[in-house]
Amino acid sequence: MVSPKIAVIGAGINGVSSALAIQEKIPNAEVTIISEKFSPNTTSDVAAGLIEPYLCDDDVNKIIRWTKATIHRIQEYMAEGNDGAEEMSGYWIQSVKEVPKWLEVMKNVNVLSEQEMKQIAKRPEHKFGVFYSTWYLEPTPYIKWETEKFLKNGGRIVQRKVENIRELDKDFDVIVNCSGLGSKKLVGDNGIYPTRGQIIKVSCPKVKHFFLDDQYYALLNDSTITLGGTKDQHQWDVTVNPKLAQKIFEGNCVNVPSLRSARILSHHVDLRPSRATVRLEIDSKLGKLVHNYGHGGSGITLHWGCALECAALVEQLVAKRAKL
């Protein structure tokens, strides 16, 4: 059987994961990742890697299915003894009472009592809270691990900016678009837009639990804490705003007073690829094209579930083309 030639555009966590999932689904496929940027210089690399749907308004049952697949994947990754992934517990504090359906995939979920809220609440708007356990996945070491697997499986990597999907037409049987915000220009999707995120990486061993509210978050990693955050829609500016950085730091210190002793390590800004829904489908206009982009602030949380579905769509196209 002739080996199908498949191109994946984009080398963030969704691009690399899709490429690897395709290799696993179609072992004889020749898969090439084509991207202008690679880790550690992708949008994925800036993420704190909290496993929780964030800034993503897709169907909740889809989100739960994709998140479950990702959690299973992280557990496999952790079982190999890899760095950059661990369970963590903490507080999700809100101004309105809401118990989202996705909490069913988390562990140790406990809705805080009035007495507990009195101890935890730090602001007048802190009215309702949940304590639970989830995971974090640091994108940079994980993407490196996936990339090594991809190359070991015979995958190819090409550094190149794709200006037009048609450039790849004659060389590939199927094209997978994981270009995130690049899809605005690449496939003319005016429904995708940036949501600017500014964060601070700090060191503070005293902090043992994550803490999120409507405005701020302090999230654990192996040796750092990520402080955020901003969610400025349709903002393309990726320069660090010092006044905003101060506000983020001070706001998190109100919520978690131990952060006053934190050592600031670095500041970062990047743009989340936001969309009304994740676009995960075969393109009806160009039948050999599969889309997997628009994950908003949930790229890490949804990545493996989406990669598996993306690979299944590619398999459909390969089977269809084999019959022609």
Q: Which residues are annotated as a binding site?
A: 43-44, 48-50, 162, 217, 272, 296-301
Report the SS3 class of residue 219: strand
Residue 90: count of CB within 10 angstroms of its CB: 22
Q: 139-152 vs 13-25: helix axis angle to the nearest 10? A: 30
Question: If we measure between CA atoms, which residue out of 314, 307, 309, 306 comes closest to residue 290?
Answer: 314
- E-only strand ranges, 138-177: 156-159, 174-177
**Percent of residues in the chain assigned helix, strand, coil, to nearest 5:** 35, 30, 35
Residue 141, burial from CB neighbour count under 10 angstroms (0-12, 13-18, 19+):
middle
Binding site residues for D-dopa, as ranges? 217, 272, 297
CB 13 within 8 A of CB 306: no
In angstroms, rounded to a whole number, what is the distance separating the alpha carbons of residues 131 and 170? 53
Per-residue tokens: 120: 């935890």
Q: 141: left (phi > 0), else alpha (psi -120 to 50), else beta?
A: alpha
| 3-state SS assignment for residue 224 | coil
Q: How far apart are CA 125 and CA 97, in angstroms?
A: 11
**Which residues are part of a known binding site for FAD?**
43-44, 48-50, 162, 296-301
Q: Are 200 and 266 in contact (CB under 8 A)?
A: yes
Cβ-Cβ contacts under 8 Å for 275 (sequence gap 6 or more): 189, 191, 192, 193, 293, 294, 296
Three-state secondary-structure class, residue 237: coil
